[in-house]
Amino acid sequence: MDSTVLFALGLTLFAGLATGIGSFIAFFASRTNTKFLSVSLGFSAGVMIYVSMIEIFFKAKDSLTGVHGETYGYWLTLAGFFGGMIFMAFLDRILPQLGNPHEVRTVEDMDEGPTNAEYARLRKMGIFTALAITIHNFPEGIATFMSAIQDPALGVAIAIAVAIHNIPEGIAVSVPIYYATGSRKKAFQYSFLSGMSEPVGAIAAWLILMPYLSDTLFGLIFAGVAGIMVFISLDELLPAAKRYDEAHLSIYGLVAGMAVMAVSLVLIV
């Protein structure tokens, strides 16, 4: 295993562990800083959208048009891009509604103690949420890994953006599990394990995709990664950021994320 692969796997592990940070916040913070949450989720969306549309999409296009020609290569790029979106939309449709990870919870939700009749429902909700986030994090792990393999600096940016949006997902898992079981340990374990699907996705990409990697496969994967990240941003991050928005903070975060990503790409070049 060379150093680039180790680095890429390390980035996906870092991003996955951020769900555990969400658990710690839920347990030890007295209240949620909604302004920070709105800005940070908007920032993460800005990074993902900018890097997907400006960097990843065109890397995919260059790879595919170089092999298949300008017209057919571009159509393949579009197929990969919208295929990534359709894939994530399909996951959303098949996941149980109680486990939809797009429902961001806050520390304050822990103050709403359940009645006895709600314990079983909360435990089911927590497990479904953990399952939903596990399934969602798998393709994110592939996206982070493949980006880092192609461009380590790009991989770092994507890993940071993914880690930011994994923090409230950690809260979403830990809050119902904690209230259903009364155990902080179990709540943290479920949250931690749901995040570990991120490096599992990276390992799957390394073992299954890497041996067959060609310009065509790379282009299709990268186009799909761009579609996945844009879909996550529009369907998950921005709606969650707007929920806690005050004075357009989520949009300011979005613009700041795009600007930071744009400047970093210029500096890297």
Which residue ranges make up the annotated binding site? 137, 140, 165-166, 169, 198
Cα–Cα dist 269/264, whole Å = 9
Computed on alpha carbons and rounded to an integer, the radius of gyration of the chain in Å comes to: 19
Structure tokens at 210: 């890497």
User: Residue 137: which residues within 8 A CB-CB, separation 6 or more?
Assistant: 16, 19, 166, 194, 195, 197, 198, 201
Q: Which residues are annotated as a binding site for Zn(2+)?
A: 140, 165, 169
**Angle (deg, nearest 10), helices 119-150 and 197-204:** 40
Cα–Cα dist 264/106, whole Å = 32
Distances (CA, A) of 151 to 3, 47, 233: 13, 16, 21
Q: Which residues are annotated as a binding site for Fe(2+)?
A: 137, 140, 166, 169, 198
Determine the length of the chain.
269
